[in-house]
Structure 1
Amino acid sequence: MLGLMLGVAALILVLSVMNGFDRELRQRILGMVPHATLGAYGDEGLDGWQELATEIRLEPGVAGVAPFVQAQGMLTSYGRVQGVQVNGIDPRVENEVSIISDHMQQGETGLLQAGEYNIVLGELLARFLGVSVGDKVTLVLPEASVSVAGVVPRMKRFTVAGLFSVGAELDANLAYIHIDDAARLKRMQPGRVDGLRLKLDDLFKAPELARRVAMAQERPFYVSDWTRTHGNLFQAIQMEKRMIALLLLLIVFVAAFNIVSTLVMVVTDKRSDIAILRTMGATPASILRIFMVQGVLIGFIGTALGVGLGVTLALTVTDLVAWVERMLGIQFLSSEVYFISYLPSELVWSDVGLITSAALLISFVATLYPAWRASRTQPAEALRYE
């Protein structure tokens, strides 16, 4: 019973943690990065995007559309340098495609006004640069400008207007500025953007839906979606979930083997009692049922205890790990290494039902051989030396 309980509990707990990582990937990482993007070919950018965005919003499956101007560069402050992806956004419509407004620690995205050159940084990025709200940072773009002083990199001073934290790797390498400021830095013509970001009702249909939206337009667009940028992370989590579930299921098989060995020993020890029952009129079928009931009872109690323990741990493991981290003064999941900074857990009752059914089925199958051996006991053989 103890072995079966630990196996079932471990299986429920680990699958819940893997489901939690899967949920965090969808809600946090994919809440910040676009489900899909449409952009024009070339460096001139996309013009007439307002009409295009209005048209795309009417497409089935599209939940939101927002323009963007994107650039890669370096932020410097107090002698520290950090590579960063700078997203130029329109704060008025960014909430349609991003969850950044829900995760602002200081300030707000509404402070990004055209011409003021304000910037919103990830919390880890700000900590590395040693800046806070109100401080100045310098953005250096990998493009050179020719002046009387020679060839110099393109630079611009920004004021930190806010900090966000989604508890993921994006906190260390992402920054937001106003879309007009970004276009001006990239020397794009007024009214042009790099492309449109799409938020979809079903993110798993992103490749198909993005291509369908692009094909419906008269002019050509390049199309990208989250499966190209973060799909490998999602696939890794799915594969690890299946492999870990398979490995932990072996614990249940070991526990079931213990049921077999226990019942075989009981049959061997009770041979004379079985023989006496047979001489009193017990049929092989009744002997079979006795040992099957005993094995199934062991399996049922062990599985029930495992389900109770596993569900309890799955519902409390996040707070439990956080408490251990506070007590020991350490952090098991650093956001500088992992894509989230805490241990998530999501209990899926369908997984619990599947695990319970598998454990009960394995326990039932484990009783068949010992019960069959007991039913084959011959009274004369068993009582010969009594």
Structure 2
Amino acid sequence: MLSAYLSKRFRQAKRRTGIVSLLSKASTLGVMLGVTVLIIALSVINGFEQQLEERLLSVVPHVSYQAPYEPIDNWPKKVEQLEQHPNILAATPEINLTAMVQYKGKLKATQLKAVIPRLHQKVSGIGAYIQGKNIAQLKQNEIVLGKKIAQSLGAIIGDRITILVANQHADKPLAAPKRLSLELVGIINMGGPVDESLALTHLNALQNTLGLSLSQVTGLRAKVDNIFQAHDIAMNAGQSLTDLVYVNSWFRTQGSLYQDIQMVRTIVFLVVFLIIAVASFNIVSSMVMEVKEKQASIAILKTMGAKDSTIFATFALQGITYAAIGAFIGTAVGVLLAINLPDLFNAAFVEANSNPLAGVYFVEFLPSKLIWSDIIITLTVTLVLALLASVYPAWQATKTNPAQVLGNS
């Protein structure tokens, strides 16, 4: 308690001096800015990771099995086999191919996916991003297009769209493509690359067009209970299939994005951590000057019987206080900005029609998610660094010789 009282008195007295006050305030400001930036940066990275899991991974296949040559026969039995695996929540058949969408003379390439609507909802959350008809009600003569595809074609809901599919089983390599006329009943408005590439139609429509039977498909898709174990689950569950298939998981299609997010998290934490470390160790210079300035006071305290431990604790507490003030103010500012960051981003860019994320990432807004463990770690690391930075000046204070200092005064 005596150390805390002395530390407070020294801080109050310090305000009347110039350079020491400036250095201590600069150190506090540096810590505050470092903590603020770290909390905001980690919140944005956490937000992107959350959106990756909740948006993108709810749409892209967790696990898929694609037939490279011959179609998969008797898909109901294969789906049943996959669903018997303990880590697979649901499975469904699909036909995936690259096709051309034609409307009024305009053409656009698309990744055409034919699904069974009632089953597709079990493995995909794409229905939440479809404007227009509910995907569960999708009929054989209907199609859903990504927003960017529809915009490039100038098509709206209700128009008739022509799908051009390569005639893979024709005798001549350059045979005319097969045509399929479908009604546009929905628009995928998810944001990002999905809007530019994806089209959905009923499985039966493509089965008829490709000459497949009702029990034949070109792919199977599964949803797993642990997305971070998707590849291992895919390989393990795929052993029950007798067909020749390519085994894929979201790690192969979107894994680089997830790895990039984790790499950016590590780099940001290290860089901002070094900024906080530099700001914390700036406390050393201000504390050394303060110890030199307070030598007379230290000498008087020693002659009055103050122990070295009391002197050490006084100045160590002084350094920690400088950092703690900056850390807690920085935390408050960082949390406040992180909570309101999406709204601030929208006000600055989206409303001004200059969104830098539009069409680049899988989201067109700046996500933010606060994780309190990150804040606790940030505060703990900052205070530990401040304590380490205060050790040397506090130790120097205990070495003050009262006779020498008072004798020269």
Do the structures match in fold with TM over 0.5? yes
Say which of 323, 339, 357 aligns to 2:362.
339
Say which of 107, 127, 130 aligns to 1:81.
107
> What residue number does 2:393 align with?
370
> What residue number does 2:376 align with?
353
Q: Counterparts of 2:352 and 2:296 in 1: how far apart (Å)?
A: 58
2:71 counterpart of 1:48? no
Runs of at least 5 residues in structure 2 that lack an aligned partner in the other structure = 1-27
Contact 1:111 1:161 in 2 (8 A): no
Deviation at 1:289, TM superposition (A): 0.8
Q: Counterparts of 1:217 and 1:128 in 2: how far apart (Å)?
A: 40
> What residue number does 2:51 align with?
24
Q: Counterparts of 1:189 and 1:143 in 2: how far apart (Å)?
A: 16
Q: Counterparts of 2:168 and 2:153 in 1: how far apart (Å)?
A: 24
1:144-195 Cα deviation digits (max 9, x unpaired): 78799x9423333322110122222101111001111122233323320112
Deviation at 1:280, TM superposition (A): 2.3
Question: What letter corresponds to residue 235 of structure 1 in structure 2?
Answer: Q
Distance 1:16 1:369, change over 3 A: same
> What residue number does 1:127 align with?
151
Distance 1:67 1:151, change over 3 A: closer
With normalisation by structure 1, the TM-score equals: 0.92
Q: Counterparts of 2:351 and 2:165 in 1: how far apart (Å)?
A: 44
Deviation at 1:112, TM superposition (A): 2.4
Deviation at 1:56, TM superposition (A): 2.0
- What's the RMSD between the two structures over aligned residues? 2.1
> What residue number does 1:328 align with?
352
Residue range with higher mean Cα deviation, 316-325 or 91-100: 316-325
Q: Counterparts of 1:373 and 1:154 in 2: how far apart (Å)?
A: 86
Distance 1:166 1:326, change over 3 A: closer
Contact 1:74 1:82 in 2 (8 A): yes
Q: Counterparts of 1:41 and 1:264 in 2: how far apart (Å)?
A: 72
Residue range with higher mean Cα deviation, 181-190 or 279-288: 181-190
> What residue number does 2:187 align with?
163
1:118-137 Cα deviation digits (max 9, x unpaired): 11011122122211101122
Question: What letter corresponds to residue 376 of structure 2 in structure 1?
Answer: G
Q: Counterparts of 2:111 and 2:216 in 1: how far apart (Å)?
A: 19
1:296-315 → structure 2 map (5 Å cutoff): 296-315=320-339
1:313-367 Cα deviation digits (max 9, x unpaired): 2211111211223553421311x22222110111112211211111111111111
Question: What letter corresponds to residue 318 of structure 1 in structure 2?
Answer: P
Q: How many residues align?
A: 381
> What residue number does 2:65 align with?
38
Residue range with higher mean Cα deviation, 252-261 or 33-42: 33-42
Distance 1:186 1:380, change over 3 A: farther
> What residue number does 2:37 align with?
10
2:409 counterpart of 1:383? no
Contact 1:214 1:220 in 2 (8 A): no
User: Match of 2:69, SS?
Assistant: coil
With normalisation by structure 2, the TM-score equals: 0.88
Distance 1:139 1:40, change over 3 A: closer
